[in-house]
Structures are given as C-alpha cells and as structure tokens.
C-alpha cells in the first residue's frame, strides 16, 4: 500500500521515479576569533567571497537567460542585490571589526538577523525572499570555507530522479536538466518562489508546502507525484504504477492526435463550437501553447515582470514581453491581465504594509489605481504592443466596485491621449475578471464599462466559501463546484448574455475535465486553461454533447454539495467512456 502525502501543486505534470534528497545544508560555520591585526585580512576575504558569489550569480543569470528566457534570468537580480546589500555588508564588517570574529561567523550572524527580520514581518511574499537569502548564504559561506559550489551537486546526479527537500534554491533550479530531474517535492516553498518559477518554466512538475511529513521520505523510496493536485504517493503500488504508465501512453497518443488536429476548431460531439485558449505565466510558454493548438491566450499573467524586483518594470521591458506573445499568436486574441500583485505576491519596490488578511487587502487593481507610476507604464506598454494589428485585450483582476472599472477606463483614455492616439481608432477591449462575489452581484452595473468578462474560479471560490485557496487543511471545503458557486456561474452566463459581453473562464476549474463538462452544461463556451491541460481539455470537449451535459446539470440544480455534483458529472463522463486516467502532463516522464 502506498502512503499518500499532500502538498500544493505548483507546476503541473506527473512524475514517477526514485528519490534524491536535496537538503542543501548550511555549512558548519566555525566560531573562530581573530586577533586585531587579522581584521584587514578577514575584511578582504569577505570582499573576495562576495565578489565570487556575485560573479557566479551573474553567470547564472546569463546562462538562465540563454537557456530559459531573459525574464527568467532576471530572477537572479534579487540575489545580486542581496549580495550587495549595504546592511548585509556593513553588519558583517562591524562584527568582524568590533567582535573580532572570522568573516564566515560574522556573515552568518548577519544573515541570521536578516532572516529573523524577514520572518517576523510574517508576509507571505517574503517566503520567496527567504529561499533567495538561503541561496546567497550557502554560496558566500561555501566560498569563505573553500568548499565547491553546492549547486554542482544536483547537476552531477546520475539517475533520473525526483528531488525532495525543504526549498528549491533558484541557483539549483536554473541548472536542472528536465531529462534527469523528473519532479520536485518541497516541504516549504510557494508557487511564487523564484526556484519554483524556474522549474515551472523548465516543465518540471513541482509540489510545494508538503510539510514536515516529507522528512520521512528516504532515498530508497519511489514517488509518484502529481504537480497539479499536489498529491505525493510514496512507494506506489504496482497497480498505481501501471495506471501511470497507461496514462503516459494515452497522453502521448493524445499529443500525436492533437498535433494532427492543431488549427482545427474544438467542437463538441453535437457540433457546438468552443474556444480553448491558454493561460500563460511566462512569455516563452506561448510557443508551447501554439504547438498545442490554443485558440489564443485567455490569461497572460504579468506578475513575472514585477515579482522580486526592486524597481517598477520599465515600459520597454514590458513592451518586449507583450510583443513576444502577440507575435506568437498573430491571428488570435491575447488577454493580458494587469498586475495582480498583493495577496502573497509583493514586489520589493512596494513598501510592505503589515496586513492581517493580505488576500482581503491591498491587491491587484487597488494597488494599480493607487500607483499610477506603476499602472501607466503597463497600460502604455500594452497600447504600444498592439501596434498595427495586434489583437490584445486587457483584463482587470480583483474588481469589486464600478469605480475601479471607471477609473481604469480613465487611465487608459489618458494613455491614448499621451500617445497621441485619441482619434486613431485604436481601442483595446477591456474586461473584468469576475473573481469577487461583488463582481458577480454587480455585473449589470459593470457592463457599460467592460467589453468582456472572464470568470476567475480560483479566487471566486476562496472568497465565496471563505476558504483560503492555499490552505491545504481546507482542501475539502475549497470546492469550485460547491452549489453556491454553481449558482453564481449560472448568473454570470445570464448577465453576460443579456449585456452581450464575451464570456470566458480562466480559473483552474476550466482545466479540470469534470469542471469543464459542468461549465459546458451551464452555458460556457470559452475556456482558458494552463498549457499542460490543453490537450486533455480539447479532447474531452470533442467527446461530449452539450445537450446531454445541459440535462445533467439541470438535474443537479438542487445538489447539496460539490461532491454530489462532481460524482454525477464524473459518472456521466465515465458512462460515455470519455474519462481517461488523469493524464500525466508536461514533458513525458516515463
């Protein structure tokens, strides 16, 4: 019998393989006191170690930019800034000078102080900085202690394996070889941590926040990991392994079939036309989305431009990123979501407000409207990226008032003016993300200010059910098929039709076969899903009948729980022979 552990899915895809532990130890730091005449030598040693660490980090930035993409390379900028942080340097030097301790001891004390300060601020985003600090700490200490760079350890792995550890330092993530690293399981970490962003860009499945239970995983164990659901099976049974291999075979069949169908519309078995678009986290993902036949981009998250940055991203940087995606989809629409920061994603250029409830706090459009210097840059880059024939749409997250949409329109109008486009006829469609209960309730009032609607089931679920989407303990309660949500989804279909607004779904529910079937039955026809779910969802849609699903959903009008809904829709799909094994996604990991 396999043991099942639960974490949070942070990079979709499934993997099966042996374990390799990456407990990236902090080297033992000797407490060595020095004589006053040795101070200068220690100061010099520290300077050298910093210089070498800095050189290493900029080499990694270069390597990563070449191998993955320039935006991914910028992840290392925040580490370079840490190495050059005046407080870190001065603090270390004063321990050397005042306490007469060796450079490694002084540096480690100073890092510990910084670490405590970051932890005390108790802001979720800072979890991401801790992994960077850990990376910097180990690297500088290794140089001071004359050890080889620890990131070489992982690149030397022989057998393809699943890495298990507490964090994934960016310097390790950037050098991972997806052929040899099948997956990553972390006791801590978050979706937004730099190392996790890099692993995602490399197509490696990752589970984060799996907790202390993973300490019991040993190198002799085998794991079956699902980077979408966050499930970890330790020593899977032969049946589970067979199921996995079957799914791998099915997925590769499906890929071949879909490749021959790419460019063909996704229609249901009863001829209803649907649109299946891609959710992108990073610009380079556009190429895969095109290859898998996405009908454009329904959600291009722009946070990669700001997370971990000390400065507001420049207009030119943004222009380049937006153009890259528009160029990948010359004939299709690309929906750029304006910065959804706040919550657990705070860039370094924002002074951190101490918030008790960051998800109910200063977030997304609230921040953008308060910071025109941030928002205007993004709007200007978006308008310029459209150029002659780009088909860009702007999606506004976390809207809860009409005022927010009205002010967004005003900001955009001012940008047209500043670019001399007032009379040019260029008008970017603007949409509202329906992800707060308020937006559902006032959709009719928002309608005059918007051209389209995108349903964000991830946040809507957490706000309607008062259940934190990131809290593994609430996994059962956090259910996007809860009857309260189904009622809201229906109202959104009705209101959008009444006001002739284009409607799509970009939350994870659209990437879940049962979810997309339920949504089809409720009247949704346009979906935006993560790249790894594209083949499975397109295939599912081709094999279901809207007429039948409508009937199934009507019968569930008085369903008492999300479970009941899920079971019924699942049973319908199984009866039709539509549901396959959950597909392993990402690179094939057999």
Active site residues: 194, 506
Minimal CB distance to Mg ion: which residue?
459
SS (H, E, C) 302-334: CHHHCCCCCCCCCHHHHHHHHHHHHHHCCCCCE
- Taking the least distance from each CB to Mg ion, the nearer of 119 and 471 is 471
- Taking the least distance from each CB to ligand PEP, the nearer of 295 and 435 is 435
- Taking the least distance from each CB to ligand PEP, the nearer of 508 and 536 is 508
Q: Check binding of 72 to Mg ion (CB under 5 A).
A: no
Query: Binding residues for ligand PEP, per CB under 6 A?
Result: 299, 301, 340, 435, 456-459, 506-507
Q: Is the separation of the CB atoms in 514 and 562 below 8 Å?
A: no
- Taking the least distance from each CB to ligand PEP, the nearer of 57 and 276 is 276
Least Å distance, CB 299 to Mg ion, is 9
Choose the one of ligand PEP, Mg ion, none that binds residue 512, judging by a C-beta under 5 to 8 angstroms depending on kind.
Answer: none
Choose the one of ligand PEP, Mg ion, none that binds residue 507, judging by a C-beta under 5 to 8 angstroms depending on kind.
Answer: ligand PEP
Q: Is the separation of the CB atoms in 276 and 506 below 8 Å?
A: no
Choose the one of Mg ion, ligand PEP, none that binds residue 228, judging by a C-beta under 5 to 8 angstroms depending on kind.
Answer: none
Q: What is the DSSP letter of 526?
A: E
SS (H, E, C) 138-207: HHHHHHHHCCCCCHHHHHCCCCCEEEEECCCCHHHHCCCCCCCEEEEEECCCCCCCHHHHHHHHCCCCEE
Q: Which of 189, 203, 227, 456 binds Mg ion (CB under 5 A)?
A: 456
| Stretch of residues binding Mg ion (CB under 5 A), selected from 149-157, 241-249, 331-339, 428-436 | 428-436
Q: Check binding of 73 to Mg ion (CB under 5 A).
A: no
Least Å distance, CB 347 to ligand PEP, is 15
Which residues lie closer than 8 Å to 57 by C-beta, 6 or more apart? 76, 79, 80, 83, 139, 171
Least Å distance, CB 469 to Mg ion, is 9
- Taking the least distance from each CB to ligand PEP, the nearer of 435 and 539 is 435
3-state class (DSSP) for residue 247: helix
Query: Which is nearest to 565 in space by CA: 491, 484, 508, 488?
Result: 484
Other Cβ atoms less than 10 A from the Cβ of 91: the count is: 17
As a whole number of angstroms, the distance between CA 311 and CA 69 comes to: 20
Q: Check binding of 169 to Mg ion (CB under 5 A).
A: no
Choose the one of ligand PEP, Mg ion, none that binds residue 506, judging by a C-beta under 5 to 8 angstroms depending on kind.
Answer: ligand PEP
As a whole number of angstroms, the distance between CA 385 and CA 260 comes to: 32
Angle separating helix axes 546-555 and 513-522, nearest 10 degrees: 90
As a whole number of angstroms, the distance between CA 579 and CA 543 comes to: 10
Least Å distance, CB 397 to Mg ion, is 6
Q: What is the DSSP letter of 297?
A: E
| Stretch of residues binding Mg ion (CB under 5 A), selected from 351-359, 419-427, 431-439, 443-451 | 431-439
Q: Which of 226, 281, 344, 459 binds Mg ion (CB under 5 A)?
A: 459
- Taking the least distance from each CB to Mg ion, the nearer of 365 and 541 is 365
| Stretch of residues binding Mg ion (CB under 5 A), selected from 168-176, 177-185, 287-295, 459-467 | 459-467
Choose the one of ligand PEP, Mg ion, none that binds residue 231, judging by a C-beta under 5 to 8 angstroms depending on kind.
Answer: none
Query: Which tokens in the block code for residue 538?
Result: 């397109």
Least Å distance, CB 435 to ligand PEP, is 5
Site of interaction with Mg ion (CB under 5 A): 435, 456, 459
């Amino acid at each position: 019998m396999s043991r099942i552990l639960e974490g949070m899915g942070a990079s979709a895809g499934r993997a099966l393989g042996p374990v390799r532990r990456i407990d990236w130890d902090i080297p033992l730091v000797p407490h060595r006191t020095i004589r006053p005449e040795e101070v200068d030598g220690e100061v010099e040693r520290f300077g050298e170690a910093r210089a070498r660490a800095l050189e290493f980090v900029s080499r990694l930035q270069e390597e990563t930019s070449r191998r993955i993409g320039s935006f991914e390379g910028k992840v290392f900028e925040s580490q370079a800034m840490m190495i050059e942080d005046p407080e870190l340097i001065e603090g270390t030097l004063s321990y050397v000078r005042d306490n007469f301790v060796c450079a490694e001891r002084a540096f480690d004390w100073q890092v510990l102080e910084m670490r405590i300060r970051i932890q005390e601020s108790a802001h979720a985003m800072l979890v991401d900085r801790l992994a960077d600090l850990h990376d910097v700490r180990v690297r500088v200490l290794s140089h001071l202690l004359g050890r080889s760079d620890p990131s070489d350890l992982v690149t030397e792995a022989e057998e393809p394996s699943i890495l298990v550890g507490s964090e994934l330092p960016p310097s390790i993530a950037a050098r991972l070889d997806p052929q040899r690293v099948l997956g990553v399981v972390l006791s801590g970490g978050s979706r937004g941590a730099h190392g996790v962003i890099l692993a995602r860009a490399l197509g490696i499945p990752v589970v984060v926040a799996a907790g202390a239970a993973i300490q019991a995983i040993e190198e002799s164990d085998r794991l079956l990991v699902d980077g979408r659901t966050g499930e970890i099976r330790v020593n899977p049974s032969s049946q589970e392994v067979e199921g996995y291999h079957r799914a791998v075979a099915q997925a590769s069949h499906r890929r071949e079939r879909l490749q021959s169908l790419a460019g063909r519309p996704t229609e249901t078995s009863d001829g209803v036309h649907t649109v299946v678009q891609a959710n992108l986290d990073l610009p380079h993902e556009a190429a895969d989305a095109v290859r898998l036949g996405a009908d454009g981009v329904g959600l291009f998250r722009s946070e990669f431009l700001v997370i971990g940055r000390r400065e507001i991203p420049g207009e030119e940087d943004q222009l380049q990123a937006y153009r890259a995606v528009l160029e990948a989809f010359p004939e299709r629409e690309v929906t750029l979501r304006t910065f959804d920061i706040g919550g657990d994603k705070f860039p370094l250029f924002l002074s951190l407000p101490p918030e008790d409830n960051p998800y109910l706090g200063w977030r997304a459009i609230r921040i953008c409207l308060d910071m025109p210097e941030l928002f205007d840059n993004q709007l200007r880059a978006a308008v310029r990226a459209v150029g002659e024939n780009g088909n860009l749409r702007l999606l506004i997250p976390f809207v809860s008032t009409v005022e927010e949409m009205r002010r967004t329109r005003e900001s955009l109008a001012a940008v047209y003016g500043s670019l001399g486009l007032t009379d040019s006829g260029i008008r970017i469609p603007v949409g509202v993300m329906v992800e707060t209960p308020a937006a559902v309730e006032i959709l009719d009032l928002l309608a005059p200010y918007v051209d389209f609607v995108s349903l964000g089931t991830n946040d809507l679920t957490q706000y309607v059910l008062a259940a934190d989407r990131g809290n593994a303990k609430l996994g059962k309660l956090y259910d996007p098929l809860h009857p309260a949500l189904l009622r809201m989804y229906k109202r959104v279909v009705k209101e959008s039709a009444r006001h002739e607004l284009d409607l799509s779904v970009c939350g994870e529910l659209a990437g879940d076969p049962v979810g997309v079937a339920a949504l089809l039955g409720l009247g949704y026809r346009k979906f935006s899903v993560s790249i790894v779910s594209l083949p499975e969802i397109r295939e599912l849609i081709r094999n279901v009948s809207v007429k039948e699903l409508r009937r199934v959903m009507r019968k569930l009008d008085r369903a008492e729980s999300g479970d009941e809904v899920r079971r019924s829709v699942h049973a319908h799909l199984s009866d039709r022979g539509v549901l396959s094994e959950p597909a392993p996604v990402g690179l094939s990991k057999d």
